[in-house]
Structure 1
């Protein structure tokens, strides 16, 4: 075998610790696959004195000088599992410009400023791999940028956040409200102490930007993604979905298609939506992830598995380490970023979707006609209407009724304008909920 491939590991938390453990346990196999052994040159951490249990690593390898570690001449590959934008961005740009290969799981940085990393990669001539940034151990990004490179991808729909999927699955299974399901997710370790990034959709939006960039050969950033979280989803919404033969999931949806002028664009959004139980994503429960890819020649493809956790993420990181190490030994590099299409991102208002709208209305003649008139004025076609006794009206008075309307496909701006006008009608006591409907119901 040739000289070892030397790794600088930035971060040694849940994922970094698993990377160290797997490097130790699988050292012989990894060396055989690469053609050279892997060695840790150093591990950058915030605190040197932290108890790291029985981690199989020489304590002398730990340092708080991440930049100094990166600049060392004996470092070939930089593995970043710290997360966040800064100082990770500065570290990785420095490494890439110096010609070192980088493996990162940093979805937030890739979505915020992936352009800087790709530009630095082109300048330095190394590799940038980031399979672990989306959907953990699920082989997803490499198929998008390599296996499907000869095809045209039209749509990517995914469940890419395990915390929110656990919460919505629990609400569906037990009838619990959002707060109860979140409390359970926190107790079981699926939700962070501060779950904002998950439940407000920030995590999924970053992943959606990465997926869209790869699928459509276009630089898409986090700011291009329309984002809504699940905090407003209620037990009543879940029950209504069940009545329609649906379930509610937080979806990332990236689609390619023509806008009203015929210009080809991409649309990228993250929001809760009802999907029919027959849809492949509907059965994805617990904290699992799944991504449904629709390609012209390959047809529909489904990628499914554990999308988070130390061991699954470390598995994806090591897969990338093997790939970049083999490239370095062979004196080659991976294909550069493919952003040739440079398609404009369509505003959310132009995205084509459907709405499920639940109204608390006055129970008197002419109400349905007045409500239908609002939809007609905004050129939104109604698919179904369901009416029943009010759930929130005064007991025994019979003055209110529940009206549930599902629309046909229309621009999101027209649907939103319809809802705004409905809120202003005297006959509409309240707009109880608004959810998008996806998946061909």
Structure 2
């Protein structure tokens, strides 16, 4: 589990026992041994009976028994064909051994194989083959004036059919459950990749926007105010180092995605700077930003705080990148009984040809939906842009 999101249900199961592991390594040999045991259990009792009653039997009864034994050895490969062959052979057996009856053991193993490996309809068809065969098996009894044991003639076949269907249904259910769980794991992996991609977008877009803004500011004041230019360059270096650290952390999550990625991504909010630090960085890039908080404090919920931080970060980044002439922005965090409301407004106008739909605003909306909230972005009356996000807050209003 070191190559990305490759975890499967089999990885979560207990390691097999030494015996189970040995059986898996020697599966073909184990299957052959089981087939031999099946043939012995199915055919030896009839062979003993034929030997003890040799004077009343026909020689071709042994040939029929050999055909049954050979067919049972390949029952896994051709289940239905073997069932038909064994059924016909067992129906002929009473003619070779009058009074012995229909040999139920071999046919029970044959019909079990069909019921456990193929459809129920085929198994029922095989059971239907047994019915006329059992009737044929009663003929020698009637000729000898003995009442045939009809209730017992097909009991083994019926029991084998039921057990086979149960085994097949259980196996199919386990296979379906495995596919279902693996699909859920894959869906979760895709969701986490999407969340990490959004995290990377926020980190890179914000850092590059800050660097470009600071670089432009430093160049414009380089001759007039060298000290401020040097401070802007230092801020560029600091922003780059912070972005590099966040990228390393996020990529580390991606590399270790199988080891509790969801929890790690939520707890990654513990390492985020405060909103005040974010606002200070944006101010250093030349945009006047105010931050106001209204109502009780935001709950100590890592996922909620991370969502708020990223939404504010992306909104301010959009202002720096896409709002021409923007000189100020206002960030308001309002806590009420319904949750947390985030409002970010600016006084700029969209830059023609530079709006990239499906990235910043879409990322804000996705983060809001992921936390069970809503997001709305629209132009303000009189100019500028407003982004408003409502998020549910766990635990109700803090006292």
Same fold by TM-score, threshold 0.5 exceeded? Answer: no
Name the structure with the higher strand share.
1
TM-score (norm 2): 0.20
Larger radius of gyration: 2
TM-score (norm 1): 0.19
